[in-house]
């Protein structure tokens, strides 16, 4: 059993029982107590539970301040903040007045949405609540938020209804925020729901634009989307490895970085 599946089972068990012992989880999941302790440590780091002697208890949720429920995660201490800005500054120049685009949920696409006031008559389809608010803040643009189950942590909609809704739309530019790009496995994301949503809009999108941190090249997230051949353009920051620059160029995919973004995006 994969660690991600164990974590899911432990979470569901704790939500129902409120407390659990290492011994009972070890027997239930048929893994060592050392493995269970590591899983509990991870969940404690996520502030999902509080470890106790021999087990753990579910952490009581903090009272939600209604004024802060739609605030995006703070990036003050993020080492990638400047890269988010760098990539979004490149990507905004790919968007033209009158475009119909989709921005999948993610922090880079959120930064793009904040810059959409530079454009006019752009229609933005998204499953991200914060992106929809930013996109709608410009009177000349239009935001369409996909319905579905709201995930509080990511502040985005997912599920069967979201997938059903996205199949009804067509966009001329799809901005996919990838968590990993690897030569063999291709594009991947860390969320199964996000992968499912992207795969259902791919057939209804004319141009596929991949956004990815340079540090996430040569890495694979848990859920695969497709190989790199679906990409028309890839936007990343300037620290991408030269090996990947050559690989992307040989496949006829336009690569945009801060160095060449305003020279047509070609290597």
Task: Show the 3-state SS of 206-247.
Answer: EEEEEECCHHHECCCCCEEEECHHHCCEEECCCCCCHHHHHH
Residue 6 CB: number of other CB atoms within 10 A?
19
Which structure tokens are listed for 36? Answer: 């269970």
Q: How many helices (H) and strands (E) does the chain have?
A: 9, 15
pTM over 0.85: no
Position 232 pLDDT exceeds 70: yes
Percent of the chain with pLDDT over 90: 69
Mean predicted confidence (pLDDT) in 116-132: 96
Position 56 pLDDT exceeds 80: yes
Of 26-30, 52-56, 150-154, 168-172, the range with the highest mean pLDDT is 168-172
198: Cβ contacts below 8 Å, ≥ 6 apart: 104, 176, 189, 225
142: Cβ contacts below 8 Å, ≥ 6 apart: 122, 123, 124, 135, 136
Mean predicted confidence (pLDDT) in 241-246: 90
Among all chains, which residue has been given the structure tokens 């009272």? Answer: 63
Lowest pLDDT segment from 54-63, 64-73, 117-126, 208-217: 64-73
- Euclidean distance between CA atoms 59 and 173, whole angstroms: 42
Confidence of residue 193 (pLDDT cuts 50, 70, 90): very high
Residue-wise pLDDT for 33-48, tens only, equals: 999 999 999 898 888 8
């Amino acid at each position: 059993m994969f660690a991600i599946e164990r974590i899911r089972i432990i979470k569901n068990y704790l939500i129902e029982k409120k407390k659990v012992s290492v011994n009972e989880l070890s027997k239930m999941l048929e893994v060592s107590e050392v493995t269970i302790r590591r899983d509990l440590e991870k969940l404690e780091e996520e502030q999902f539970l509080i470890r106790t002697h021999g087990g753990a208890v579910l952490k009581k949720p903090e009272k939600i301040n209604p004024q802060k429920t739609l605030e995006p995660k703070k990036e003050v201490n993020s080492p990638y903040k400047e890269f988010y800005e760098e990539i979004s500054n490149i990507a905004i120049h790919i968007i033209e007045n009158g475009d119909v685009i989709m921005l999948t949920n993610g922090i880079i696409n959120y930064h793009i949405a904040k810059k959409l006031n530079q454009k006019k008559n752009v229609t933005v389809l998204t499953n991200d609540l914060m992106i929809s608010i930013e996109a709608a803040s410009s009177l000349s643009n239009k935001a369409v938020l996909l319905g579905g189950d709201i995930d509080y942590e990511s502040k985005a909609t997912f599920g069967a209804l979201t997938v059903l809704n996205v199949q009804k739309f067509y966009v001329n530019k799809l901005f996919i925020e990838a968590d990993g790009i690897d030569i063999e496995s291709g594009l991947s994301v860390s969320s199964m729901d996000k992968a499912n949503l992207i795969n259902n809009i791919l057939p209804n999108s004319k141009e596929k634009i991949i956004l990815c941190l340079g540090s996430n090249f040569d890495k694979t997230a848990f859920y695969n989307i497709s190989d790199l051949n679906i990409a028309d353009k890839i936007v990343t920051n300037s620290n991408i490895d030269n090996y990947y620059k050559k690989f992307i160029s040989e496949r006829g995919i336009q690569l945009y970085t801060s160095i060449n973004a305003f020279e047509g995006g070609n290597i």
